[in-house]
């Protein structure tokens, strides 16, 4: 029997607003001091060195920041970032925050989280006194001040999460850093986002002040990285693997495993074959899909082995609509008509799609929240649902003049054939998904032009944003990520070097205001009201089409212990790698 755990609640594990914000007492919902496993050192290594080899789906572009000059960080950085660099606060696999580099989590009752009448805030973190960088230099508050300066620097074109809400970072002394907030932010005491990862000022400040373009190209961000995590870089073979060596002075005690080899394996079939052949010990999320992982699991169990198998919500899957008219015209000007979007949504058999891909483990997504999210009760009665209903789809299309022609194909009143472009990026199940969607649309008489962007070209952000109709994608449901997919400020533009998570470029000032307000609302009643308005709007107008919550699989062979899967929110699978062991 496998060691197996399933969490199919994308947001139950993610968000504690319903519990935390009612009284605005973060102390009631956070683990303010480090858990026992974070401070008790494992026994020193003895005997033969222990080595673990695991697969990740792609090579990181950089280990700490998504710096454009260092390459893409998609699919790689967050997978292993916590192995080499810690943050002030981390999350465990159940969504409980715990102190990492901070000695404790700020709370209002201790005065370390201050909310002022005008909405501005201040959070103060005291650092542990035992943390050193991998070169032996002590971590100080100045490293966080320097990191804030770099990450908030608008000369750098990379995605930011919440750093723009912070007006100032200040070192009160060597072990105390304070952040001034322009507006309320519910997670201000739980700074686990990559925006707040520290950078070693003693190694980087001169380069940053000297030449910012050169700064982005420094080896530091890859093979020369120096962090605060349990492992340090030993060797990096471009396109092949990354070897990590246990850091003896790690503040929570030396890791149990001496060496970790991270293989960059973009071919899921190779990952599967390597696991079955014993060439690697395991894989962390997105190295292959659920179907392939379950196949390996069944083969191992049939042989009497007991693997570690963990299923978790990994991303919110959805389809963008192209709202940038110059890119969409003249292919499908009717996409502006909500009846077309509703009709095409009704035509997709989403329950069948989710069952085929995810073995019935997850429900479809009716909106940005899952049915088992604590906030679902707030919005349940305002969700407009779109059952698989081809007849209703045909009725809606007929209203705008789309009918079947003599050959059965869908045509406009002019007799022009309806063609629906459907794009995605190559990877895991994406090609399979758009093929299933295409078949559903073809059954309505539409012609569907499918295009799969090669992984290498997915780094061409301008090209990615140029899709002419629909674009199937996914995003981690952490924090407010799903809402960012519909924010005007996230529209990719030339001015942002085509960086932006709202790939379809939907823009609506009213929705922008709602999203901005829900981000800063600290009172439960305000949260409830705003989420209801957002969900009502999103499900009525369908600026983006929700599909389902995808499950990831973490799979390791018998003999590997301590692996607990991705943190929740899913910000890193190696959050507790110092506790892993192997025999």
The structural domains of the chain, ordered by start, are 31-284+566-582 (3.40.190.10), 315-551 (3.10.105.10)
Q: Are the C-beta atoms of 485 and 318 separated by less than 8 Å?
A: yes
Output b/e per residue, 266-277; b: 16+ Cβ within 10 A: bebebbbebbee
Q: Which is nearest to 67 in space by CA: 215, 229, 233?
A: 215
Predicted pLDDT at 76: 47
> β-pairing, 308-321 with 544-556?
antiparallel
Predicted pLDDT at 46: 55
Predicted pLDDT at 33: 46
Task: Please give the C-alpha separations between residue 502 and each of 157, 449, 456, 486, 493, in angstroms, as whole numbers.
Answer: 16, 22, 21, 6, 10
| Cα–Cα dist 334/446, whole Å | 14
* 3-state secondary structure at position 469: coil
- Confirm whether pTM is higher than 0.95: no
Q: Are the C-beta atoms of 182 and 120 separated by less than 8 Å?
A: yes
Q: Which helix (H) or strand (E) holds 214?
A: helix 212-216
Predicted pLDDT at 160: 63
| Cα–Cα dist 16/186, whole Å | 10
Predicted pLDDT at 524: 82
Report angle CA 542, 547, 552 to the nearest 5 degrees.
Answer: 145
283 contacts: CB under 8 Å, gap ≥ 6: 54, 55, 56, 265, 271, 275, 293, 554, 555, 556
Predicted pLDDT at 506: 97
Task: Please give the C-alpha separations between residue 103 and each of 28, 129, 131, 176, in angstroms, as whole numbers.
Answer: 17, 8, 11, 10
Walk along the chain (583 residues) and give the pLDDT tens digit of each residue: 455 554 444 433 333 333 333 333 333 344 444 443 344 334 444 578 999 999 999 888 788 765 544 333 334 456 789 999 999 999 998 888 999 999 999 999 999 999 999 989 999 999 999 999 999 999 999 999 999 999 888 887 665 668 888 999 999 999 999 999 998 988 899 888 888 999 999 999 999 999 888 898 899 998 999 999 999 999 999 999 999 999 999 999 999 999 999 999 999 999 999 999 999 999 998 888 888 899 999 999 999 999 999 988 778 999 999 999 887 766 788 999 999 999 999 999 999 998 887 767 777 899 998 776 778 899 999 999 999 999 999 999 999 999 999 999 999 999 999 999 999 999 868 999 999 999 999 999 999 999 999 988 988 999 999 999 999 999 887 768 899 999 999 999 998 899 999 999 999 999 999 999 998 888 889 989 999 999 999 999 999 999 998 888 999 999 999 999 988 777 789 999 999 999 9
């Amino acid at each position: 029997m496998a060691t197996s755990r399933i969490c199919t609640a994308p947001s139950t594990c993610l968000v504690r607003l319903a519990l935390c914000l009612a009284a605005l007492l973060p102390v009631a919902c956070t683990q303010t001091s480090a858990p026992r496993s974070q401070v008790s050192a494992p026994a020193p290594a003895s005997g033969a060195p222990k080595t673990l080899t695991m697969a990740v789906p792609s090579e990181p572009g950089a280990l700490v920041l998504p710096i454009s000059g260092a390459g893409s960080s998609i699919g790689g950085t967050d997978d292993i970032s916590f192995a080499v660099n810690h943050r002030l606060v981390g999350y465990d696999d159940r969504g409980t925050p715990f102190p990492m580099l901070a000695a404790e989590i700020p709370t209002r009752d201790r005065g370390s989280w201050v909310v002022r009448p005008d909405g501005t805030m201040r959070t103060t973190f005291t650092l542990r006194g035992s943390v050193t960088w991998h070169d032996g230099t002590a971590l100080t508050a100045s490293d966080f001040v320097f990191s804030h300066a770099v990450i908030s620097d608008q000369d750098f074109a990379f995605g930011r999460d919440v750093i723009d809400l912070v007006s100032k970072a200040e070192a009160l002394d060597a072990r105390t850093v304070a952040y001034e907030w322009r507006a309320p932010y519910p997670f201000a005491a739980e700074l686990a986002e990559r925006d707040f990862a520290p950078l070693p000022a003693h190694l980087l400040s001169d380069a940053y002040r000297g030449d910012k373009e050169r700064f982005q190209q420094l080896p530091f961000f890859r093979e020369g990285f120096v962090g605060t995590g349990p492992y340090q870089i030993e060797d990096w073979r471009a396109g092949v693997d990354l070897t990590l060596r246990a850091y003896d002075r790690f503040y929570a005690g030396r890791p149990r495993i001496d060496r970790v080899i991270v293989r960059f394996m973009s071919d899921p079939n190779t990952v599967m074959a390597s696991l079955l052949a014993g060439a690697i010990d395991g894989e962390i999320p997105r190295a292959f899909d659920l179907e392939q992982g379950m196949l390996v699991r069944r083969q191992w169990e049939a042989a009497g082995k007991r693997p570690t198998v963990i299923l978790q919500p990994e991303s919110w899957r959805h389809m963008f609509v192209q709202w940038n008219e110059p890119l969409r015209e003249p292919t499908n000007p009717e996409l502006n008509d909500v009846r077309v979007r509703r009709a095409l949504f009704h035509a997709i058999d989403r329950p069948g799609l989710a069952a085929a891909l995810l073995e019935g483990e997850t429900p479809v997504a009716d909106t940005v929240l899952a049915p088992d999210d604590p906030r679902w009760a707030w919005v349940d009665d305002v969700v407009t649902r779109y059952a698989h209903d081809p007849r209703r789809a045909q009725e809606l299309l007929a209203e705008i003049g789309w009918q079947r022609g003599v050959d059965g194909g869908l045509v406009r009143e002019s007799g022009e054939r309806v063609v629906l472009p459907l794009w995605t990026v190559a990877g895991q199940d994406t090609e399979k998904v758009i093929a299933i969607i295409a078949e559903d649309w073809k059954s309505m008489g539409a012609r569907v032009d499918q295009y799969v962007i090669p992984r290498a070209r997915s780094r061409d952000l301008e090209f990615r944003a140029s899709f002419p109709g629909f674009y199937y994608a996914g995003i981690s449901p952490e924090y407010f990520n799903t809402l960012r997919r519909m924010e005007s400020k996230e529209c990719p533009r030339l001015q942002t070097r085509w960086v932006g998570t709202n790939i379809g470029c939907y823009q609506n000032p009213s929705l922008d205001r709602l999203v901005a307000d829900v981000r800063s609302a600290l009172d439960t009643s305000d949260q409830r009201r705003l989420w209801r308005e957002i969900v009502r709007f999103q499900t009525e107008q369908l600026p983006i089409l929700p599909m389902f919550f995808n499950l990831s699989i973490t799979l390791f062979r018998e003999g590997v212990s301590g692996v607990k899967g991705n943190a929740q929110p899913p910000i890193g699978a190696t959050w507790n790698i110092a506790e892993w062991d192997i025999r």
